[in-house]
Amino acid sequence: MNQDRRSQIIKMLNKQHTISNSELMDTFKISIETVRRDLAYLENQGLLERVYGGAVKKNFMNTEPEYTNRQSENLDEKQAIAKEAEKLIDLNDTVFFDIGTTTLSLAQNLNSSKNINAFTNSLRVATSLSEKGCSVTVTGGKVRNGEFSVSGFIAENNMSQFNFDKAIIGIAGIDENGITDFIPEEANLRRQIIKNSRKTIVLADYSKFGVRAICNICALSKIDILITDEKAPYDMIKKLEKNGIKVIVAKI
């Protein structure tokens, strides 16, 4: 029985790359103690890496999953988070939209009557916002194949000239040390955007908690609002709130 369950855990990780303790408890109807034993065993076998609140696929922190895979993961959570984020964007705001599948969902569902002034490093987000009649400025820079993101020194130099009411930031991971990502050039641009924004809003579904990717973006103290979903670990949410971050939990 143990071996069958552990094999299924690996299959789940191969498909979705990250998994939470609570998800394993719900899926297999087991206690947190059993979850911890299973994950410890699988980590000792070199099959996964334990993180805060769950586990990630082996070497996941160094390699970004393919966009097409990320696009199909946790769709309900991402859409719920996007709906909450949309409520925070006010009439005539100047908003920077980061890359990411959750950020794209926000752009696709934005109320076009808000008449925002949008900036973005995502060609997908730029297309969606432009189709809604928004004023859209793209950062400029080098396009990354597959992701259709734009970054590099040209993007950083261009965006250093602008100030934003709000920055909508997508991330690879969040833990007690801050938020992280996979691509150095995109992490650099995020730091520039956060510096130039009155309010930083981070979008992170439950799978991002406890994950620490290779590139540091910023400490928790730089975040104003984090929007997540009901599967996010409760104790981590409380730690974020103690750090002065407003946490919005989207209902699915």
Beta bridge partners of 136: 118
Taking the complete model, does pTM exceed 0.75, yes or no?
yes
Domain topology for 2-58 = Arc Repressor Mutant, subunit A (1.10.10)
Nearest to 56 by CA among 213, 178, 171, 169: 213
Q: What is the pLDDT of residues 198-229, one digit of tens each?
A: 999 999 998 888 888 889 999 999 999 999 99
Domain ranges of the chain: 2-58, 67-250
- What spatial distance separates the first Cα and last Cα of the chain, rounded to whole Å? 32
Q: Give the sheet arrangement for strand 173-175, strand by strand.
A: 173-175, 178-181, 215-218
Q: What is the pLDDT of residues 165-189, one digit of tens each?
A: 999 999 988 988 999 998 889 999 9
Answer whether 132's CB lies under 8 Å from 167's CB.
no
CATH classification for the domain delimited by 67-250, as one of 3.30.450.40, 3.40.50.2300, 3.20.130.10, 3.40.50.1360 = 3.40.50.1360
Q: Which of 1-15, 108-122, 138-152 has the lowest mean pLDDT?
A: 1-15
